[in-house]
């Protein structure tokens, strides 16, 4: 049976996921607070919905891809009021461990809530190549295999406890931000010493220190090409969640505090809506 999906949130990631679902022939209804973004996806085969209630009422699976925990919690009661009992809810937004705990308390047993943050940015979302991290009831995850296969290249089930997938997502985003900032620093040092920064990328290319992500972001930084795939504002929000997790667990936050300072510096220069590669600007030009 073809499952119908309601996607709430038609930003960069949500829109990409809608495109991937439609491409796989899965019926999709999409809602967005700014209705024009949902209507734009109607041309691709999705059905725009004027309200959350209309979007989720007959859906077999609900996907939320909103900005933060506050945005998800603002719509949760309407979702719970309108969705059929037992509907699978894939909560894909990055909301942190505490955000997922609060949401799980609200949902209770009314819906099958799956903590399902994703790894990847705009292009993987549009090509169905995200990595989906899941935690929660395994049977719920298994019941939406076709949906997960449409949006992702693979699904990694962390365990059956809601919130643990979000914990892994925070660790991954801390790593991503650290790698981005480290690349920016190395490029800045190379340039300041009067050397073509491409030499740094070439020096590590193919070695144990290399990473495809580093080469891609490094090239963007050299070209000052900050077209957004993962906006600096969103990165700063995610780093704040990592800081909260460090505070809650007693893990020293020296590195993430420094990353937040760099993000703040670049955002003050007007790069909040630019790609995370714009963190290069925190080190001067």
Confidence of residue 69 (pLDDT cuts 50, 70, 90): very high
pLDDT tens column, 230-275 = 999 999 999 999 999 999 999 999 999 999 999 999 999 999 999 9
| Phi-psi group of 25: left, alpha or beta (phi > 0 → left; psi -120 to 50 → alpha; rest → beta) | left
CA-CA distance, 173 to 152, in Å (whole number)?
18
Give the domain ranges of the chain. 5-161, 167-283
- With bands split at pLDDT 50, 70 and 90, how would you rate the model's confidence at 2? low
Q: Which CATH class name applies to 167-283?
A: mainly alpha
On average, the pLDDT of the chain sits at 97
Q: What six digits make up the tokens of 61?
A: 């699976």
CATH class of 5-161: alpha beta
- The model carries a pTM of 0.94
Half-sphere exposure of 279 (CA within 13 A, CB side): 29
Selection from 223, 239, 225, 238 nearest residue 271 by Cα: 225
Angle between helices 35-42 and 12-23 (to 10 degrees): 20
């Amino acid at each position: 049976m073809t499952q119908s999906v309601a996607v709430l949130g038609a930003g960069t990631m949500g829109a990409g996921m809608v495109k991937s679902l439609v491409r796989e022939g899965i019926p999709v209804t999409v809602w967005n607070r700014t209705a024009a973004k949902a209507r734009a996806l109607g041309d691709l085969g999705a059905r725009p919905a004027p309200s959350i209630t209309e979007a989720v009422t007959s859906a077999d699976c609900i996907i939320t891809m909103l900005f933060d925990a506050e945005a998800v919690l603002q719509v949760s009661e309407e979702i719970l009021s309108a969705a059929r009992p037992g509907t699978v809810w894939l909560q894909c937004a990055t909301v942190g461990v505490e955000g997922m705990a609060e949401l799980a308390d609200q949902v209770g047993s009314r819906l099958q809530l799956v903590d399902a943050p994703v790894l990847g940015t705009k292009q993987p979302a549009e090509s169905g190549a995200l990595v989906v991290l899941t935690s929660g009831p395994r049977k719920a995850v298994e019941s939406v295999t076709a949906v997960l296969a449409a949006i992702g290249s693979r699904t990694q089930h962390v365990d059956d406890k809601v919130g643990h997938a979000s914990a892994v997502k925070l660790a991954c985003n801390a790593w991503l931000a650290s790698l981005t900032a480290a690349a920016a620093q190395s490029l800045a040092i190379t340039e300041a010493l009067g050397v073509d920064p491409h030499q740094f990328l070439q020096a590590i290319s193919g070695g144990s220190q290399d990473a495809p992500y580093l080469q891609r972001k490094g090239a963007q930084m050299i070209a000052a090409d900050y077209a957004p795939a993962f906006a600096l504002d969103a990165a700063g929000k995610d780093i704040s969640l990592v800081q909260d997790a460090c505070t809650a667990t007693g893990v020293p936050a020296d590195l993430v505090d420094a990353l937040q300072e760099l993000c703040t510096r670049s955002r003050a220069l007007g790069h909040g809506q630019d790609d995370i590669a714009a963190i290069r600007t925190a080190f001067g030009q």
